[in-house]
Amino acid sequence: MKKDRFVLSMFIVFILVTCLVIAVPVHAKLAGDKVKVGGLFGVSGVCAEWGTNGKIGTEIAVEEINAAGGIGGLPIEITWYDDECKGAPVIPLVEKLTKKDKVLVINGPCQSSTCEVAFPKLNRLKIVSIAFCSSKPGLSKLSKWGFRNTLTSDKQLDPAVKKWKAKYGIKTAVVIYNSEDAVSTVEGKKIMPVLFEKHGIKLLKMFSFQTQTVDFAPFITEIKALNPDGIGIGSCYEAGAKIAIEARRQGIKAQFIGGACNSTPGLIEVGGEAVEGYYGSTAAWIQGNPDPRVIKFVKEFKKRSPAGKDPTYGGLRAYDNMYIIKKVIEEEGVTNKPGDLQKDREKIRQGWAKLKNYPGISGVTTMNEEGDGQGGVKTLVVKGGEFLVK
Amino acid sequence: MDYLFSVAAIAGINIIMALSFYLPFITGQISLGQAGFMAIGAYASAVCSVKFGIPYVPAVLLGGVMAGVAGFVLGMPALRIKGIYLLLLTMGFGEIVRVIFINIDYVGGAAGLGGIPYQEYTTLYAYGTVVILTVFFYRLRKSRMGRAFQAIGDDEDTAEIIGVNIATAKLTAFSVGAFIAGIGGGILAHFQEYIEPLMFGVMHGVEFIVFAIFGGIQIFWGPIFGALALTFIPEFLREIQEWRMELYGLLLIVMMIVRPQGVIGLDVIKWIKKKLLRIR
């Protein structure tokens, strides 16, 4: 009888403890009535397409997170500014978000040249800023507070060059790049020659042009005389598409491979049939990705984007940034108390620094020791008027 | 507060740049090349700091001297032309400077030059320079050289007839204007900690002209006011995000219709003086 009572009471205690564990939420409610997150999106200027992508991606994520109960029970409030894709305006904006708006963390900026100016300031301001489309190698070294949830151009292009060579049997190539743009120059002058050599492609000649160049006929005429198997393009999509159009017009059969900011819907819109077979890379698999989360995101994105355009990888990376911010805040014990603001920012930094295998919609992301994203890179090829993953 | 200091620092640099445009303008020389001189000052001072470890003040001054020398060299052919032709010459110069920096790997080329030591007291240095320039322009107005500048600006032929050395005066105004722009560039480089050629495009030079014309070009207070107003107004308009620059543009259009001589003209200065005398 006594034994039965003991077993019964132990059973009741077990049930009560189980109920208690289930009843207590995994993440306790944070202090305050909202979680303040900053945003730096260049929605005007040279990187407007990428910045707008980041803004829309962030907005979609914030709405989803808030609808599902927010972070630690509180809704996210985004305070964002247009950094105009320039260096100088970003300085007061980072100061404003840190000191006046008192945000916990900043999603953005986008462009490498903006990161070049913003990241050194973070050491003094002690706030985490996460870029979503900067691809110039080496920038995250500037500050332990600056992270980039993207892949640098060298990491993106390596597998792409390998597959491009295998597909078309490229033995010789030329490189043409925009000498006015930092990332394009690094891609054209440093990354592509090294990768071509690594993969056994002979570099015949390098050409440089400027952003304002509209007529590529002189370059293409010279390239035609060299008769290369491939053409490496370090530039954004507008010039990439124009080069391809002019090359096909002059009857050049060489195959193209473009840098990190080539693989946007704009390349196909401008280039049309001329960019068929054009190789590129992306830090997120978008078109043709069977992941239901990506399909849902693209559908929602197209509703919000100007002219219903598809997103670039920056949109997906900015979206993932918000979910990673939520994960880090909840897991690192951020209190959200005004008095703990600096401690909370340090916790967020530590959370980002040790981020491993995060399964986002842009791929599985791990931060390396420099603060750059690893993983999620895909090689793309234009086929039938759309990007397909190789 | 730090945010406002940050905006104030940029406003201070813009004032320096607007005044750098204003000085040759007094002698009738309209320069679109101030961004080019700013680039020379920025790169020279950054190289002094990054590559040779020269302290801030001498580095910025050296940047100014380098820009001044470039201004002197460019000023000589500029003596022969005026008006729209001078505008084109200086625009071409600005482009050449930018492209030269793109092609110099020693200063990072298109990738830019980073690691420039941060100057914590940029706001102080910028406004210190503004104060020095204000005193300079105030004294210049009443000096022999200042009157010669003004005479050339009003009518170059008449000025020559009355004995003004046109070549010396114009070359001095052009070179000193370039020196001032170089100082502005040096201060900017140590504030941003990173510079790249794209930051010094011709359109940047147009911005300095807008500052001066908006504020008023009859007296040096005009460019000072213009640069201050046109730096702070877009910042205060940030809350309206995408519509910010539209409102900014509208403001410029309205101003040019209502007050084409700029906000601060000689009439405003007279009115302020009158009010101040009454208070006394």
Q: Which of B6, B102, B244 sits opposite A91 (nearest CB)?
A: B6
Q: Which of B10, B110, B188 sits opposite A182 (nearest CB)?
A: B110
- Cβ distance A88 to B114 less than 8 Å, yes or no, reads no
* Pairing outcome for strands A279-282 and A378-383: antiparallel
pLDDT of residue B105: 87
Q: Which CATH number fits domain A154-282: 3.90.226.10, 3.40.50.2300, 3.30.1600.10, 3.20.20.10?
A: 3.40.50.2300
Q: Which of A92, A113, A120 sits opposite B10 (nearest CB)?
A: A92
pLDDT digits (tens, 9 = 90+) for A250-273: 999 999 999 888 888 889 989 999
Please give the average per-residue pLDDT across A173-186, as a whole number: 89
Which residue is closest to B198 within chain A, CA to CA? A180
Chain A residues contacting B, CB < 8 Å?
43-44, 80-82, 86-88, 91-92, 95-96, 98-100, 113, 116-117, 120-121, 124, 136, 142, 179-182, 184-186, 189, 210
Residues paired with residue A37 on neighbouring β-strands, in sequence order: A78, A105
CA distance A358 to chain B (A): 31
The CATH number of the domain covering residues in A35-151+291-376? 3.40.50.2300
pLDDT digits (tens, 9 = 90+) for A277-325: 999 998 888 877 899 999 999 999 999 987 888 898 899 999 999 999 9
**Percentage of residues in chain A with pLDDT exceeding 70?**
93
Query: Is residue B101 predicted with pLDDT exceeding 90?
Result: yes
**Cβ proximity of B174 and B78 under 8 Å:** yes
pLDDT of residue A116: 87
CA distance B193 to chain A (A): 7
CA distance B245 to chain A (A): 10
Q: Which of B6, B241, B242 sits opposite A95 (nearest CB)?
A: B6
pLDDT of residue B57: 97
Beta carbons within 8 Å of B11's beta carbon, 6+ residues apart: B227, B228, B231, B232
- Cβ distance A43 to B242 less than 8 Å, yes or no, reads yes
- Cβ distance B242 to A136 less than 8 Å, yes or no, reads no
More confident residue, B129 or A18: B129
Whole-model pTM: value is 0.80
CA distance B60 to chain A (A): 18
What residue ranges do the domains of chain A occupy?
Answer: 35-151+291-376, 154-282
Please tell me the least confidently modeled range out of A269-283, B68-82, B180-194, B235-249. B235-249
- Cβ distance B111 to A210 less than 8 Å, yes or no, reads no
Picking from B44, B237, B103, the residue whose alpha carbon sits closest to that of residue A81 is: B237
Please give the average per-residue pLDDT across A160-175, as a whole number: 96
Which residue is closest to A178 within chain B, CA to CA? B110
With cut-offs at 50, 70 and 90, classify the pLDDT of residue A25: very low
The reply to whether A35-151+291-376 and A154-282 are identical in fold is yes
3-state per-residue secondary structure call for chain A? CHHHHHHHHHHHHHHHHHHHHHHCCCCCCCCCCCEEEEEECCCCCCCHHHHHHHHHHHHHHHHHHHHCCCECCECEEEEEECCCCCHHHHHHHHHHHHHHCCCCEEECCCCHHHHHHHHHHHHHHCCEEEECCCCCCCHHHHCCCEEECCCCHHHHHHHHHHHHHHHHCCCEEEEEEECCCHHHHHHHHHHHHHHHHHCCCEEEEEEEECCCCCCCHHHHHHHHHHCCCEEEEECCHHHHHHHHHHHHHCCCCCEEEECCCCCCHHHHHHHHHHHCCCEEEECCCCCCCCCHHHHHHHHHHHHHCHHHCCCCHHHHHHHHHHHHHHHHHHHCCCCCCHHHHHHHHHHHHHHHHCCCCEEECCEEEEECCCCEEECCCEEEEEECCEEEEC
What's the complex ipTM? 0.72
Average pLDDT, rounded, for chain A: 89
Taking contacts as CB-CB distances below 8 angstroms, the residues of chain A near B196 are 87, 113, 116, 182
Chain B residues contacting A, CB < 8 Å?
1-3, 5-7, 10, 99, 102-103, 109-112, 114, 118, 188, 191-199, 235, 238, 241-242, 244-245
Please give the average per-residue pLDDT across A82-99, as a whole number: 86
> In a mutagenesis test of the A interface, which of B102, B103, B113, B118 is the best target, namely the one with the most A β-carbons within 10 Å?
B102
With cut-offs at 50, 70 and 90, classify the pLDDT of residue A18: low
